[in-house]
Amino acid sequence: MNTVIYLHEIFPSFQGEGLFVGKYQLFIRLKKCNLSCYYCDSVESREDGVYSVNTGKQGIEGENPVDRKQFFQLLNSFNGVDWMFDTISLTGGEPLLQNHVIKWIRDYYSLNQKKILLETNGTLKDELQEVISDIDIVSMDIKLTLDELKSPEKLQTFLDYTLEFIEIAMRKRLYIKIPITKRISPEIFTAAVSFIGFRYPKLNVFLQDVFDDGLTMKDIMDFYSIAVCHFDNVRYVPQVHKLAGFI
């Protein structure tokens, strides 16, 4: 049984990505990830080290790991400001690697009726299955920059797995984010959106360019024009928190 978590940070801020852009939320960012995307903007969260908590009024630092009692004490520090957010955004790293924290959050916030939004890289379906009943919203990335996807067989295996993940996540409110970068080939992008869109054309899909990756408007339009042929609800939304300076 898992009795501790490796925490990176807790802070309230405006959501900068996906369906809930502009909503004020409490972010709980965990350490550890099973991928190593070249464009990762949370590299520190993948490494060991201390955690930090910023309530807006006070800052706290501490050593990992954190047990359930300590975690609840950290959440207590948001008493008085927690009326500002109705959603807890659980992010990382890859939070499903420490999925037992979802039950902790649900236990702590059940009386306050906060929603739990899981931000995940979409690669751990068994771990999602274990906790889906305690989640309200799933923000699922589809990572098309993985090197292994250049093999047609591995691409198909990845897409089959991705569909299974989507089927579990659809038990709750789901939206998809596809990070678009210069390293994604049109062939892989087309294969992915046509395969998933054929099965689930009504998914909310967000194309999000990687910050400072040098994509032009034409590059973005090329991705958009392919995606919109396969999904009813496609939006291009850049990382708003970075544009606004909340990095």
| Cβ at position 229, least distance to ligand SF4 in Å | 27
Stretch binding ligand SF4 (CB under 6 A), from 89-97, 166-174, 195-203, 229-237: 89-97
According to the binding rule CB under 6 A, does residue 42 interact with ligand SF4? yes
**Least distance (Å) between residue 178 CB and ligand SF4:** 13
Among 9, 94, 127, 209, binds ligand SF4 (CB under 6 A): 94
What six digits make up the tokens of 203?
């998914």
Q: Which two tokens stand for residue 170?
A: 């659809």
- Least CB distance from residue 124 to ligand SF4, whole Å? 11
Q: Is 146 in the site for ligand SF4 (CB under 6 A)?
A: no
33 binds ligand SF4 (CB under 6 A): yes
Distance from C-alpha of 28 to C-alpha of 30, rounded to nearest angstrom: 6
Joined together, the tokens standing for residue 38 give: 């070249």
Kindly state the greatest CA–CA separation across the chain. Answer: 53
Binding flag, residue 128, ligand SF4 (CB under 6 A): no
Min. distance of Cβ 83 from ligand SF4 in angstroms? 30
The binder of ligand SF4 chosen from 4, 40, 215, 228 (CB under 6 A): 40
Single out the residue of 35, 124, 228, 240 in contact with ligand SF4 (rule: CB under 6 A). 35
Q: How far is the CB of 41 from ligand SF4 (least distance, A)?
A: 7
Q: Which is nearer to ligand SF4, 94 or 127 (CB)?
A: 94
Pick one of 16, 93, 95, 197: the residue that binds ligand SF4 (CB under 6 A): 93
Smallest distance from ligand SF4 to CB 35, Å: 4
Q: Which residues of the shown chain bind ligand SF4 in the complex (CB under 6 A)?
A: 33, 35-37, 40, 42, 92-94, 121
